[in-house]
Amino acid sequence: MSWTDKASIEHIKQIRDIFKVKTFVETGTFKAMNILTHINNFDSLFSCENNEQYFDIAQNKVIDYFNTNQPRGIPTIYNEDSKTFLKWFRKFLGYRQRENVIFYLDAHFYDKKRPKGKGKFVVLDELKELKGMKNAIIIIHDFDNNLGHITYDGISLDMNLLRNDLLKVNPNFYYYTNTLKGCDIMKPEETNDKDMKENLIYAWSKPEKTYRGLLYCLPKKINIEGLKEVK
């Protein structure tokens, strides 16, 4: 989750301002830590969680936040798989299809029943649901840029895996990744939230868990310190 990296939070805010984004959509909210991190950064936030236990935790955390704060954004979380959720969201967007939207794709755990190979990557299903959405700004977590990343069955979450489906979303995307030098990872002692603290302790247990790769797919060329262009 990008919430562990204070630098990535600032990168997302800079991208928001460059493209005048009001809506943030994520897949795989887990315990709502990422969406609550951005609750004051966007007007509308949408997310999904297929695991019912985590969905209940996420819902309760959002409700508790609203009971004690007056956030800028209004988050809505659905108990759905990411493919179904994105299909619904695209219909919901409807007449606002020209609006720039940030899609933060993080629902990477795949169906173990599927055959080995590329078909197990949920992110490919998600990208197919975004086909033709040239207004989409896509951020993919756990990307292989030599930082910590997802690898299933010997296949890495890299440009070789993603490029064809990304081109179907927008053939004119510009691609950027974070860098080790540009990371600013939170320490467990910086939060009193139990779930965040546990996640940060886990993240700091090994370098490949601490520093995770991010891919930014943008409709035009930008210059943000800490991001490196990918050809």
pLDDT of residue 98: 78
Residue written as token pair 């197990």 = 120
Beta bridge partners of 155: 152
Contact 145, 215 (CB under 8 A): yes
pLDDT of residue 93: 81
CATH number at residue 204: 3.40.50.150
Residues of the chain with pLDDT under 50: none
Instruction: Decide: residue 36, CB within 10 A, 0-12 exposed, 13-18 middle, 19+ buried.
Output: buried
pLDDT digit string, tens, across residues 37-64 = 999 999 999 999 999 999 999 999 999 9
The DSSP code for 80 is: S
| Helix H or strand E segment including 214 | strand 214-218
Picking from 45, 50, 55, the residue whose alpha carbon sits closest to that of residue 23 is 45
pLDDT of residue 107: 79
pLDDT of residue 7: 97
**Beta carbons within 10 angstroms of residue 112's beta carbon:** 6
pLDDT of residue 173: 98
pLDDT of residue 79: 96
Q: Is the pTM of this model over 0.75?
A: yes
pLDDT of residue 120: 82
If one counts the domains in the chain, the total is 1
Contact 142, 151 (CB under 8 A): no
pLDDT digit string, tens, across residues 152-172 = 889 999 999 999 999 999 999
The whole-angstrom separation of Cα 86 and Cα 130 is 8
Q: Rounded to whole angstroms, what are the CA distances from 225 to 10, 81, 177, 229?
A: 10, 34, 11, 11
Domain that holds residue 214: 2-230
